[in-house]
Structure 1
Amino acid sequence: MKRLRFKPDKALGERLIKEARLAREKAKQLPPGKEREGLLRKAHEADIVARIDEWLNSPGLKPPI
């Protein structure tokens, strides 16, 4: 069976930043509540993962000994 491969058109960090921005924009349109808080949490988590990805891919990162 041939495996389907996916080649992303953008880097992970870029996709996460876009996802966070879209979640924040959608949250602004909602009244305070669980759905809005969920979108804001999702945006915050995407920002954190984007920062971790940036750190892991930085040239100054040294492998553990």
Structure 2
Amino acid sequence: MGLKRRRFKQTDSLETRLSQFALDMRKRADQKPPGDQREALLKRAHNADQAIDLERQLREH
């Protein structure tokens, strides 16, 4: 018998979760000095913003 998969329902929408993730990445980036780590965090925030835009476009159609 295989392992049982844990299942749960998300309480917040994808857009809300992505938005919170982006905000968290920006806060973490603000605490870092200029450099590769800061740029990586800002890139992750930017990618989350793009995912929000894409999700909105898909929802409209």
Same fold (TM over 0.5): yes
Query: How many pairs does the alignment contain?
Result: 59
The unaligned stretches of length 5 or more in structure 2 are: none
Output one character per residue of 1:14-53: Cα deviation in whole Å (capped at 9) or x when no partner: 1001100110011011101111000000000000001101
TM-score w.r.t. the length of structure 2 is: 0.86
The unaligned stretches of length 5 or more in structure 1 are: none
**Aligned counterpart, 2:31:** 29
Measured after TM superposition, the shift of residue 54 of structure 1 is 1.1
Q: Could you list the runs of 4 or more consecutive aligned residues of structure 1 that deviate by over 6 angstroms after TM superposition?
A: none
**CA–CA distance in structure 2, aligned partners of residues 21 and 34 of structure 1:** 19
Q: RMSD between aligned alpha carbons?
A: 1.2
Amino acid paired to 1:45: N
Once the two structures are aligned, what percentage of the paired residues are identical? 41
